[in-house]
Each structure stands twice: as structure tokens, then as C-alpha cells.
Amino acid sequence: MGQYPPVPLLPPKERTKIPRHKIPEQDPMVRRTNFKEVNLGYTIEMAQAEAQRCLMCANPPCIGGCPVHIKIPQFIEKIREGDIAEAARILKEDNALPAVCGRVCPQEEQCEIVCVLTKKYQPVAIGNLERFAADWERENIGIQVPKIEKKTGKKVAIIGGGPAGLSAAGDLIRMGHDVTVFEALHEIGGVLVYGIPEFRLPKSIVKAEVDALAAAGVRFEKNFVVGLTATLDELMQEYDAAFLGVGAGLPYFMNIPGEELIGVYSANEYLTRVNLMRAYEFGPNDTPLINIKDKTVAVIGGGNTAMDAVRTSLRLGAKRAMIVYRRSEAEMPARIEEIHHAKEEGVEFMLLASPIEYLGDERGWLRAMKVQHMQLGEPDASGRRKPIPIPDAIEEIPIDVAVVAIGNGSNPIITRATPDLKTNKWGNILVDKTTLKTTKKGVFAGGDIVTGGATVILAMGAGRTAAKYINEYLMNPDFVWEWE
Amino acid sequence: MNKILEARFIGPNVKLFKIEAPKIAEKRKAGQFVMLRVHEKGERIPLTIADSDASEGWIEIIAQGVGKTTKLLNMLEAGDYIHDLVGPLGKPSHIEYFGTAVSIGGGVGTAIAYPIAKALKEAGNYVISIIGGRSKEYVILENEISKFSDEVYPTTDDGSYGFHGFVTQKLQELLDNGKKIDFVLAIGPVPMMEAVANITKPYGIKTIVSLNSIMVDGTGMCGGCRAIVNGETVFVCVDGPEFDAHQVNFKVLKDRNNTYLLQEKEALHDFECHLDNAFFTLLKKQKNGEN
């Protein structure tokens, strides 16, 4: 009962000979001038041909590699059979935001790296297929509301409308609970709307997936800061359980001279102004950004956020946009695809270098940075080779804007207002590793507020785990809260 | 969206709004602020809560129309809606019994000083209020402030009302006359707060200022509002907005507040030259309560 004719299954030998299908992309020289999506997505023919490559393993390792345990071979088989609606339905049993994850998950280090084909050939393009199925459903039949279990009468508060919270909400609503998401900003999506740029994840897609959750019955309270608008204790009088997915909070700076100069941004601020507040269309939108056109922008850091900021700079018209990273490319935490895309678009990489001072003019505007050149030493605690300053190798580089993308500390608002919520010395909330229960009864936590800065899908995985144990806590009177 | 219950000008370009916001009203303490957006493409701006009533479920804010956003805001009337309103944000003022407390408000800064002066009075302080303006019509909230002050001194730069001179000159006069002052609160333009800090420092008088940094989210996420206090970086939205005036680096605050002067000028120009543009359609929709 598919929407397209099935593609007949070839013998496994022949299937392994099919090369992986590359996803069509906008030309680098064109896309560096616009904010439209870089990846264009598979056609139905490409998707079915790629689906043909899946060997349908009896014990599929890909499912174990996925933080939310999507039934990968099943949904891929449905694509090959031409039943894309069913493929999307299977996806959504495990993933509340498949169109988002198909775009921003690091599949190459999760499901695809463990694909049986990876050793001898190239892995099945699981992420591209996930994206295809989710996009197809949204564009052709509209996002379908999943089956909701009988109402339990239990109320769950989800604090934070980012990936962790949305994924928890998606599961809990299907389990029949009453779910309300509290979001501090004026839009739902957290890092998906303020952090990840339009060219990697269009806001309309996030909105469509959020709307689908609303259609399934999830309630959203925007402009609500738990800890200030109401305390967690007050919410707990009304709700039977809560999940804290408030994300990483305060951006780190390096505490080097000159970081107060105009033109030094945190990546959070730079990206929020451009993405959430749409400063790239200043005029119709009221939020400004320093004029980037024909300027030199240095982005400090080597993660995905740094890549987002530097590629955003090109699109804002920067004359030069560079990554400044203290280790070498091999140690960069960013996805390979993002580094590759950045290079294609003309981003410069200044590796083994770290700013030690920003220099300004008399009006307080940034005009240059001093960088210390580095060499790699022995591996450090993270297992990556540690950068060591090369004596006297200090260079002054004229720049107009610096974007500091070196991670985030934890936001103090909720913990400040909730003394019985225990945190570690960095302010991350302490949780039981299996159940994600906190030290406060009925309250679970997950995502960046627990782990420190990580990825969208890890946060979503935490949201799912929490949802499972919240359900357990609500429905099973024997659930033990006390920590062992 | 939050409904405007009352809106009236209390000075030239200075408008007071009473807004329906029961949750914020219930929680709000003196010194805290809200972030608001006037329309769906608007920027987020911080405004201090001037007053509130938890039982009636409203808060009051006072805005001076200087840029596009505040001018748009000041076009709204009772019955219209604020598109987004979130709060109460920031740490509440630290209120205690100091003895004699001087509350100084410069221009629209008076609106921010007012609730804190009220709280200081309620804590038993002898409250002296100095409220300054360019000329008579810029001296705002005198009646309201008089209710919570033991002494009130309006000042005007041009001498059209009250003391002829700056608020700082009035403060200096009080000190010269031997007035024992235990605490000073100064809120207004950055040069005025800096001048107050310079006056009180040699006397060792504890002095607090409320910083008006540029913010985006107002919850600590962006770091745009960072200031230098006692040589360290602070985030005004979560660590403040109030700080020890003798430790604030006012030069950095002044510079950073000028970041978007060009864009602000451009936006204001476009706004004032296209009085029939899309914003008014938006506002009109909002007036009808449509989202």
C-alpha cells in the first residue's frame, strides 16, 4: 500500500556494489551568499536506490548506535517498498523530531559508523533517508499525529523547549500523560531556533515539528522562565513530575584582555541575533548586528557552533571568515561534513593558534587580535593531543569581529531558585545515570544542563530516557526515588 | 500576548503602561525587569518594572521613545497588546535599613529609581529623592515619589523648576551642608551615574547603580550585556542589574551601549519616513488582538 512502486530487492552481493548516494547540495559559491539550506535532499528515486543498499541485518548494529534507538532497517525497508508514509510513522515511534535529526545528527559517529557496510564499503546514508521520509510526510500528507494511549490523568511539566524537552514531550504525550512545555524565549525550539542556522536547519521545519507536537496535545507556555516567573516548587504543586532540559546556559569567554571590546561576541549572541532574531534581514526585523559586510571575522573554536558562526559570517558578506583553533584539524569536535562544507565555501582555517588578547581603538571597537601559535604535545585528559605555546610565536592579526565559540557553562537561574536540586561544581544538575532522576522528588533532568555542551541527538536521547522513567515513576507505585 | 490596561504620557515622549501580567506581578520584586517585544519582528528590549499589584495582576513599565522600538511601543494604547513579555528577570534590589538613603533618578531613570525608593522607605530608611530632568516637563513621577520620600528635590538643567542644576550638584550640596548619608542609589544616563559614583566615593558612601546594558535574551544565554565590575566580567541580566557604583567600569558600559548607534539611527530614519509601512499593519492586527 505504498505511495510509489516498490524497488525489487536485489541479491545482497549486488546491493553492496551500489555506491552510496550523495545528497545534492547547493553550489558552494552560490550558497555562501544566501541563507537557504545547503543540502537539498534526495529525490524518491535516490531514496529508494539508497534504501536498496541496506542489508536488513538480523541484529542491526545501527539501532544500538542511535541514541533514541530508531528502528532503522524497518523504516528503510518501507522506503524501498515505496511506502514513505509508513516509513515516517516508524521513525516517529522513536523520534519526535525526525526532520530535525535527519539534518543535524552526527550520523557518521552514531548509526552509520556501526553499519555493517562501513568496513568494506560506505555506510547506508541513514541520516539522508530519515530526512527524506520526514520531509516527504510533511510536504505530501502533513505530519501525522501518532497514536495516543488512553489518558492517565497525570501531568508532566517540561522545562525548556529545546531538543531534550521536545523529545521527552513527544514520548510522554503518546503515553497518555498531560504535557506542558515551559520555554523562556518567545519561540519554541531552544538551540534549534536560536543556535543552528537557517542554512543547516530551516526554522520552518522546526516549527512544523513543534506544531505536530501541539497537534498531538502538547501545550506550550512561551515567555516563561522557571525559577523566576514561577519556581520549580510552585510548578510541582500542580504537576506530578517534571523534566528539566534547560540546556547549556552561560557562554564561556577566555578571560583574556579585550573581550569587552565592541565586536567581540559570544557565539550564542551572534547566532541568536542572526537566527532567532533574524538580524540578517535588518529592516523588516528590528534586531541589529554589527555590519559584517567586507569585514574580517575570526571565530574562536573548532566545534559545530564555531562552524555555524563562521559560515554565517560568509553569508553576511564577510570579506574574510576564519576559524581560529588551538589544536589541529584532527582534534576538531565539529562534524566532518561541517568542516568540509566550511572549506568549500571559502572559510580559512588558522589551526594551532589561540587568541591571547584583543586590541581596540579609542572608541572601544575591536581592531585586531594577538594570537599565540601552538604545537601539539602529549595527549591530555580528553585523549586529544594538548596544544603547547611555541615560544615567541605571537602574531597580531587585524580583525573586525571575533566570535567566541568555546562552549557554555550552566545557567544559574533554576538551580539558584531550587536549593534542593543538587549540582556538581560546574553547576550541572546531578542525576542518576540510568533513570535521570535528580535529587528532588518527581524531577528528572537531561541534556546539556546535565552533561555540559553536547549534541542535539544526545539531548533527545536523554529526553527519551527521562520520558521512559517518568512514565515508570508515574505509573508504578514501587518506583524507588531514593538514590542507592 | 499581554493586554495594556492603561497607557498615558507622563512626560515628553515618556509613557507609562499598566499591563496585564498576573504571573509576573505575583513574583516581581523591586529592581527586577522584563524583556518585551512590541511586534512579531521586533527586538527584545529590557525595561524595569516600575510598579505592580499581585492581587490585581498588573505591572507598570515606563518607556521613553528614543529609538524605533520604544517609539513603536509608545504608539500603543490601552486595549492594545504587547506581543511578548517575560519576567521578572534579574536579581531584586538588595533592600535593608541603611539609615538615610538618597535615591537619585535622572530623566526616565526616575522610573527605575521609584520602586526601589519605595522599597527603601518600607524598610524604614529616611528617604531623600532627587529627581532630575532637562526642564520642568522632564521631571517625572514627582507626586508618586513624594509619597515614599521624606524629602524630595526636583532639579532641572535649565532652572525651569526646582533646583537649578544637575542632580549631582544637588547631591553635593546636601553633602556640603553636612547631611549624613548612608546609602545612595543612582539611576539614569551613564555619565550621570558615573558622576554620582565619583562624588560619593571620597565619602565612602555605599552607592548602587542599575546598569542599562543592551540585552537579547535577558536570561544569561547570550552574554551581550556583559560589563566590567571590579575588574571582572559580569552578565548584567543574571548577576545584576544593580552593582556597586564604585566598582563599575563606566567607560566600557558607555562604549558597549553605543554598539548599534548606526543601525539604530538607520532604523529610526526608515521608521519615521515610512509612517504607512508594514509595521503599522502589524500593529493594527495586534491592536485587534490577532496573533
pLDDT digits (tens, 9 = 90+) for A199-241: 999 999 999 999 999 999 999 999 999 999 999 999 999 999 9
Residue A55's CB is within 10 A of a number of other CB atoms, namely 14
pLDDT at A134 over 90: yes
What are the pLDDT digits (tens) for A9-41?
A: 999 889 999 999 999 999 999 999 999 999 999
Q: Which residue of A has its CA nearest to B279?
A: A284
Q: Does B173 touch chain A (CB under 8 A)?
A: no
Specify the CATH number for the domain of residue A339: 3.50.50.60
> Does residue A455 lie in a domain region?
yes
Residues of chain B with pLDDT > 90, as a percent, come to: 86
Is residue A241 within 8 Å of A444, Cβ to Cβ? yes
Domain count for chain A, please give it.
3
Q: Give yes or no for a cis peptide into A19 (omega within 30° of 0).
A: no
Residues of chain A with pLDDT > 70, as a percent, come to: 100
Pick from A272, A278, A283: which is nearest to B216 by CB?
A272
| Residue-range definition of the domain harbouring residue A173 | 155-249+408-475
pLDDT at B280 over 90: no
> Does residue A275 lie in a domain region?
yes
Q: Are A300 and A399 contained in the same domain?
A: yes
Rounded alpha-carbon distances, angstroms, from residue A304 to A36, A350, A352, A375: 18, 16, 18, 23
Please classify residue A45 by burial: count the beta carbons closer than 10 Å to its beta carbon, then call 0-12 exposed, 13-18 middle and 19+ buried.
exposed
Mean pLDDT of chain B: 92
For residue A314, the surrounding DSSP H or E stretch is helix A304-315
State the average pLDDT over residues A440-455.
91
Domain boundary pick from A352, A383, A404: A404
Specify the CATH number for the domain of residue A96: 1.10.1060.10
Torsion of CA B118, B121, B126, B130, to 10 degrees: 0
pLDDT at A419 over 80: yes
State the average pLDDT over residues B1-19.
95
Residues of chain B with pLDDT > 70, as a percent, come to: 94
- Per DSSP, A482 falls in state S
What are the pLDDT digits (tens) for B110-128?
A: 998 999 999 999 999 999 9
What are the pLDDT digits (tens) for B18-68?
A: 999 999 999 999 999 999 999 999 999 999 999 999 999 999 999 999 889
Domain boundary pick from A384, A404, A424: A404
Q: ipTM beyond 0.95?
A: no
A286 chain-B contacts, CB cut-off 8 A: 41-43, 68-69, 267
What are the pLDDT digits (tens) for A360-389?
A: 999 999 999 999 999 999 988 888 889 999
Q: Which residues contact A108 (CB under 8 A, 6 or more apart)?
A: A123, A335, A336, A337
Q: Are A91 and A111 contained in the same domain?
A: yes
Pick from A262, A285, A290: which is nearest to B41 by CB?
A285
A186 chain-B contacts, CB cut-off 8 A: 37, 44, 83-84, 86
What are the pLDDT digits (tens) for A312-346?
A: 999 999 999 999 999 999 999 998 889 999 999 99
Domain boundary pick from A91, A115, A140: A140
Is residue B54 within 8 Å of B25, Cβ to Cβ? yes
Give me A126's grid cell: 541513514
Greater confidence, B289 or B183?
B183
Q: Are A165 and A292 contained in the same domain?
A: no
Q: Are A379 and A265 contained in the same domain?
A: yes
Sheet of B33-37: strand order equals: B81-82, B2-11, B14-20, B58-64, B45-53, B33-37, B84-89
pLDDT for residue B266:
86
B19 chain-A contacts, CB cut-off 8 A: none
pLDDT for residue A68:
86
What are the pLDDT digits (tens) for B132-172?
A: 999 999 999 999 999 999 999 999 999 999 999 999 999 99
Please classify residue A379 by burial: count the beta carbons closer than 10 Å to its beta carbon, then call 0-12 exposed, 13-18 middle and 19+ buried.
exposed
> Does residue A202 lie in a domain region?
yes
Query: Rounded to an integer, what distance in angstroms lies between the CA atom of residue B82 and that of residue B74?
Result: 11
Q: Does B37 touch chain A (CB under 8 A)?
A: yes
Closest-CA residue to A312 (of A290, A336, A332, A331):
A290
> Does residue A1 lie in a domain region?
no
What are the pLDDT digits (tens) for A76-110?
A: 999 999 999 999 999 999 888 899 999 988 888 88
Contact B264 A288 (CB under 8 A): yes
Q: Are A85 and A119 contained in the same domain?
A: yes
Determine phi and psi for B33, rounding to 5 degrees. -135, 170
B44 chain-A contacts, CB cut-off 8 A: 186, 277, 287
> Does residue A7 lie in a domain region?
no
Q: Are A163 and A235 contained in the same domain?
A: yes
Pick from B27, B88, B270: which is nearest to A283 by CB?
B270
Q: Nearest CA to CA, how far is B222 from chain A (Å)?
A: 4
pLDDT at A111 over 90: yes
Mean pLDDT of chain A: 94
Q: Which residues pair with B59 in a beta bridge?
A: B19, B52
Query: Rounded to an integer, what distance in angstroms lies between the CA atom of residue A185 and that of residue B208?
Result: 29
Q: Nearest CA to CA, how far is A56 from chain B (Å)?
A: 44
Q: Are A367 and A423 contained in the same domain?
A: no
Q: Are A176 and A298 contained in the same domain?
A: no
Domains of chain B plus CATH, in order, are 2-89 (2.40.30.10), 100-210 (3.40.50.80)
Query: Rounded to an integer, what distance in angstroms lies between the CA atom of residue B245 and that of residue A165?
Result: 40
> Does residue A147 lie in a domain region?
no
Q: Are A43 and A133 contained in the same domain?
A: yes
Q: Give yes or no for a cis peptide into B88 (omega within 30° of 0).
A: yes
> Does residue A18 lie in a domain region?
yes
pLDDT band, very low/low/confident/very high, at A284 (cuts 50, 70, 90):
confident
Contact B256 A262 (CB under 8 A): yes
- Per DSSP, B230 falls in state T
Among B221, B229, B233, B249, pick the best mutation site for testing chain A contact (most A Cβ within 10 A). Answer: B221
Q: Are A133 and A94 contained in the same domain?
A: yes
pLDDT at B217 over 50: yes
pLDDT band, very low/low/confident/very high, at B291 (cuts 50, 70, 90):
very low
Is residue B144 within 8 Å of B114, Cβ to Cβ? yes
Q: Does B29 touch chain A (CB under 8 A)?
A: no
Q: Nearest CA to CA, how far is B187 from chain A (Å)?
A: 22
Q: Are A335 and A390 contained in the same domain?
A: yes
> Does residue A3 lie in a domain region?
no
What are the pLDDT digits (tens) for B59-101?
A: 999 999 988 999 999 999 999 999 999 999 999 999 999 999 9
Q: Are A233 and A260 contained in the same domain?
A: no
pTM: 0.92
pLDDT for residue B271:
81
Greater confidence, A147 or B195?
B195
One-letter identity of residue B208: I
Greater confidence, A198 or A454?
A198
Contact A230 B27 (CB under 8 A): yes
Query: Rounded to an integer, what distance in angstroms lies between the CA atom of residue A158 and that of residue A172?
Result: 10
